[in-house]
A and B are shown apart, each in its own frame.
Chain A
Amino acid sequence: MPVSLVVAPDPGDTSDRELARALMAGSPWAIAETWNRFAPAVIMFATRTLGSESEAEDVAQEVFHRVFVKARTLRAPERLRSFIFSFAIRLLKTELRRRKTRAWLSFQRPETLVDLGGELMDMESRDLLRRFYALLDRLAPRHRLVFALRHLESMTVDEIAAHMELSISTVKRALERATSKLTIWIEADPGLAGFLDEKGFLR
């Protein structure tokens, strides 16, 4: 009786396109591989945008849940990464809007919760970050997200426009407004720029 040996590919060796096809076909291994391959980047992206590792984990859960549920709608398998990040951007925008709504409904401004850096950062740096994220909290959600994509994720204006489904001019305007506002607020914060100077960041 002829016997053929079929060796299953190592999931780590598959390309994004092959992985996407496996995901669309419902292959069980594809879920774990997609998560292991892309979740770190999504979690770090969400962490930098929200300033919270714990909230970022929740966002990542939601992103991948939606990705897996909607995997069959992916039309260009080679763009799996882009597909995942478009979900992440949409969810982060919703989350930032939710925060704004909650802050508006609250009778007092909630203290900005920044839980990133962990033991890797000293207390002063963590305080600086908390102040920075408090300023980001004051931006409109769209402006904040554009700023985060450009300056925290190093995306180009074209990439931001494509991911957020905005025109390039709208992205540029949002970026300029966010940067201007943040600059003004930093200038107005008596301790912030001075402390950065003391730490040698402005030399």
Chain B
Amino acid sequence: MTTTGESRGRRALAALAGMARGSARPPTPAQLDSGLAALRSRLNAGPAQRSAGRSSIMRWSLVGTLAATAALVAMGVVRSGPSRLPAPSELPALTYRVEGGNLGDGGYLQESGRGGIKLFFSEGTEFILKPGTRSRLRAVDASGARIAIEHGAASFLVTPAPATDRRWQVDVGPFLVTVKGTVFTVSWDAATETFDLKLRHGSVTVRGPATGGEIALRAGQRLLINLPQGETVISEQKPDEWIDAPAGPAARAAAPPAERPSAASDRPAALAGKSAPTSRAGKLDPARLDNDRRWTGALAAGHLDRILAEAEQAGLRATLDRASSDDLLALADAARYRRRMDLARDALLAERRRFPASPRSLDGAFRLGRVEEASDRGLARAIEWYDEYLTRAPTGTYASEALGRKMTLMSKLGGPSRARPFAEEYLRRFPGGTYAGPARAFVRAP
């Protein structure tokens, strides 16, 4: 390889690394909430829950692994997900069989035909994914399983096992459904952001944006959530509406007579005294201003106007003085996206004033720079905020972006020659960064 070629290869490598560096998106507030809920579940459940994907191979001996692999090859599509540690209650390991598809990298279930995919677990539980459903098996171990439905519909026939601590969890879009012995059908339409769960037997809890905490459902109920409209409706189903949920062996096992929808005492506390359908949509109580993170889910769901309307309803001054740090940032983002730069600025300044020691306060300086860039106050103010961020967080999350923006604004204000020192600094510090191309151009400019 020639020197020129080597240099070209290294530059290509730097460019690719820079692209990879800039490609990771921070998790949304809804993802963080969902992750924290899952983590709490694991912590509450004890030390045994592990991810099936990474749990299986490492603890096996090489000989055992080869033997198991040979067995898997011989069986075709059969896979098993043994637990790495014994469960507290010494549950037998769950194994499962995939029909109509196979398990790919990252746990994605890939349909081999057009008939959907079925998962059969050794203790009788069945997952039936409808054709075209995009899903991922996240974990299987002795204590249960977790599957994510990214788009589409699926039915679940979970065998009740009251004597065990088995936990079955279904991530459905941004919602988390936690089940015990249950038969239900759930769907998530990513395009319309509509969640629909029909519970035939047993009980489930649902958590996610617009649920205002955890919603408990009992047999015979349907939960329909339309995120764009901010509408959450729980209604009673008639038996002839249960056609979606198949009635296999697990369904029969999961349907003890006591769980038939009848007794009023079965109703969850949130619904007591209310007649179905029950709408839980609408405005949040302004008196709950102190509750943290009430807008982060709304922001993740794109309810910008709702956030702004609620802030105005509660009073902008009161909101700025009393809202939590998370809510102030959510309000700032909602205002920025709706081009209400004055409100965005006020929210970010309130965040910095009220939570000066918070790492988010630093991020606020960068965001204020973006607000000033988009407002009438001019570019000089934006540069001041970027300087503030770079001084206080020289290796912070937005350092590369802040320096890149500053370089760009300097060019706008004084031409390439004024941007050059910052371009040189940028290339020295972030040679593969997203502003590396323009920085090189500024350095080369006469």
Our pick among A52, A98, A132, A187 for the contact of B19 (Cβ within 8 Å) is: A132
Query: Helix, strand, loop or mixed for chain B's interface?
Result: helix
Contacting residues, chain A, for B10 (C-beta < 8 A): 179, 183
Asked if A51 contacts B32 (CB within 8 A), the reply is: no
Contacting residues, chain A, for B65 (C-beta < 8 A): 101, 105
B-side interface size class: 35 or more
Tell me the smallest distance from the CB of A89 to a CB of chain B, in Å. 15
0/1 string, A104-120, CB within 8 A of B gives 1: 01000011110111101
Q: Assess A192 versus B42: contact at CB under 8 Å? Given A43-B27, A58-B53.
A: no
Query: Does A95 make an interface contact (CB < 8 A)?
Result: yes
Tell me the smallest distance from the CB of A151 to a CB of chain B, in Å. 4
Query: Does B338 make an interface contact (CB < 8 A)?
Result: no
0/1 string, B104-131, CB within 8 A of A gives 1: 1111100000000000000000000000
Stretch at the interface among A64-72, A138-146, A162-170: A64-72
Contacting residues, chain A, for B106 (C-beta < 8 A): 52, 54-55, 113, 115
Q: Assess A132 versus B20: contact at CB under 8 Å? Given A52-B106, A94-B54.
A: yes
Query: Does A61 make an interface contact (CB < 8 A)?
Result: yes
Our pick among B5, B51, B105 for the contact of A61 (Cβ within 8 Å) is: B51
Query: Does A60 make an interface contact (CB < 8 A)?
Result: yes
Asked if A40 contacts B357 (CB within 8 A), the reply is: no
Asked if B25 contacts A48 (CB within 8 A), the reply is: no
Our pick among B1, B9, B40, B326 for the contact of A31 (Cβ within 8 Å) is: B40
0/1 string, B75-112, CB within 8 A of A gives 1: 00000000000000000000000000000111110000
Asked if B15 contacts A196 (CB within 8 A), the reply is: yes
Query: Does A12 make an interface contact (CB < 8 A)?
Result: yes
Contacting residues, chain A, for B40 (C-beta < 8 A): 31
Q: Select from chain B the residue with minimum beta-carbon distance to A58.
A: B51
Q: Select from chain A the residue with minimum beta-carbon distance to B105.
A: A113
Tell me the smallest distance from the CB of B402 to a CB of chain A, in Å. 15
A-side interface size class: 35 or more
Q: Select from chain A the residue with minimum beta-carbon distance to B15.
A: A201
Query: Does B303 make an interface contact (CB < 8 A)?
Result: no
Q: Assess A128 versus B19: contact at CB under 8 Å? Given A10-B325, A61-B42.
A: yes
Query: Does B413 make an interface contact (CB < 8 A)?
Result: no
How far apart sit A102 and B104, CA to CA, in the bound complex (Å)? 12
Q: Assess A39 versus B35: contact at CB under 8 Å? Given A44-B24, A187-B1.
A: yes
Chosen A-B contacts, 23 in total, with CB atoms closer than 8 Å, are: A12-B360, A35-B32, A47-B25, A48-B24, A52-B106, A58-B54, A62-B50, A62-B54, A64-B39, A98-B54, A116-B25, A120-B23, A120-B25, A121-B23, A128-B16, A132-B20, A151-B17, A151-B21, A186-B16, A187-B1, A193-B8, A201-B12, A201-B19
Given contacts A39-B36, A129-B19, A154-B430, 15 further A-B contacts (CB under 8 A): A12-B355, A13-B357, A32-B36, A40-B26, A52-B106, A55-B53, A57-B31, A101-B57, A113-B105, A128-B16, A151-B14, A152-B21, A182-B13, A187-B5, A201-B19
